Amino acid sequence: MSPTREGPTLLSWASQLEVSTLVQARQTAAMAFIHPHVALMPDAHSGKGSAVGTVIPTRGAVMPAAVGVDIGCGMIAARTTFTRADVDARIAETGSGLAALREAVEDAIPLSPGNYNRGTGDWRFTAARIRELEELADAGDVDLSHSPKWRRQLGSLGGGNHFIELCLDEADRVWLFLHSGSRGVGNKIAQHHIRVAQRMCAGVRLPNRDLAYLSEGTAEFDRYLTDLHWAQRFAYLNRAEMMDRFAAVFARWMGVSGNHETERINCHHNYTRQEMHGGEQVWLTRKGAVDAHAGVRAVIPGSMGTRSYVVEGLGNADGLCSAPHGAGRQFSRTEAKRRFTQDDLRARMVGIEYRDSAEFVDEIPDAYKDIDVVMEDARDLVRVVHELRQILNVKGT
């Protein structure tokens, strides 16, 4: 769809837009350092300070709460050489269904927000990632004293809307797919710098205190960008770590060895980096949005029980070369639990292997916007390359 102008510096691609979300977006777009405009994505919904699904270009300042507390949260997807027929043949051969695979994945990857790996030596590829993060922290003098167990967080999923899925595309090829971010250590980094920004803006009139900012040229700004870079890298490597574990578990379940991937896409949707927009180099914050520069591939998930999409960016300048990051919630977790039951969730998950539990009712697809409407709204931002449907779902508890 073509964007609608919702203010002097606000363009929106959202056909499903709540008043509270629009209010937040207008507040963000009214900040003096916005250039050239804020882009509101099709999946936008209310968030902390600024709406989730907001792309925010700023000159000389960054707002830590706009980046969010799950720094570097994003998606990773890996296409394999396997097909639905291979999976069905393995089930017939072994008599071991997808429940056994789900349980093996749950055993290999810690799921809950406070659950860590038992150790860091269980997988051959973990040590190199920890070493890279240690060296990056040392080089930037990143203070991680608030998270002494950060190494054991690497390769853990977390809770909420984080998930792991086995999917099939339009040609019945098997994809491995998951959603996670920088875990507890990233949250601690974000919360610290949000408080610093609020102290720095104590005498500034803000429409919302979570729009507090750090000004370029200050020590606080430099410290945040260094710590942010570390957390973004942690999130990226965290997804890669889990994907390697998922791939190993899946191969074992399939009774094969070796690497069976043909493609891997790992993309953030909560982050800040420098980009050129409106003829200037700005700090571009994608809060619930993916990079959609021309030719760049990304992954846009639906919800448990609905389709997801592998996409390629179209480089839309008005959209700040960005695209939506998912379906976006239409009901809060509390409201979803009030409206829906475990039986409702079971009905929506027919044909999908998942852990049948009442704790996931707030993640029912009905709590989210219609992903097909979101993708239609995004048709001038990305083109769909693959359409994925899940046959197995593992949720963060």
Q: In this structure, are residues 180 and 235 in contact, taking their beta carbons and an 8 Å threshold? A: yes
Name the DSSP class of 161. Answer: T
Look at residue 44 in the predicted model and tell me its pLDDT. Answer: 95
Tokens of residue 345, six digits = 């969730």
Paired sense of beta strands 261-268 and 214-215, if any: unpaired
DSSP string, 243-302: HHHHHHHHHHHHT--S--EEEEEEEESEEEEEEEETTEEEEEEEESEEE--TT-EEEE--
Sheet order of strands, 52-58 included: 4-7, 10-12, 38-45, 52-58, 280-287, 270-277
Catalytic residue flag (residue 192): no
Catalytic residue, chosen from 179, 268, 325, 386, is 325
Domains and CATH numbers, the chain: 72-266+292-330+368-395 (3.90.1860.10)
CA dist 317 and 380 (Å) reads: 10
Paired sense of beta strands 74-83 and 322-324, if any: unpaired
Q: What's the pTM value of the predicted model, to 2 decimals?
A: 0.96
H or E, element range at 58: strand 52-58
Look at residue 160 in the predicted model and tell me its pLDDT. Answer: 81
CA 366 to the chain's CA centroid: 19
Look at residue 341 in the predicted model and tell me its pLDDT. Answer: 94
Tokens of residue 55, six digits = 């792309």
CA dist 102 and 210 (Å) reads: 39
Look at residue 205 in the predicted model and tell me its pLDDT. Answer: 94
DSSP string, 195-250: HHHHHHTTTS--SSGGG--EETTSHHHHHHHHHHHHHHHHHHHHHHHHHHHHHHHH
In sequence order, the β-bridge partners of residue 323 are: 290
Look at residue 121 in the predicted model and tell me its pLDDT. Answer: 82
Q: Which amino acid is at 214?
A: L
Mean pLDDT, 10 residues at a time, over the chain (397 residues)?
Answer: 92 94 96 98 90 97 95 97 98 93 95 80 93 98 96 92 96 97 96 97 94 98 98 98 97 94 96 97 98 98 93 98 92 92 93 92 92 96 97 90
Tokens of residue 379, six digits = 């048709």
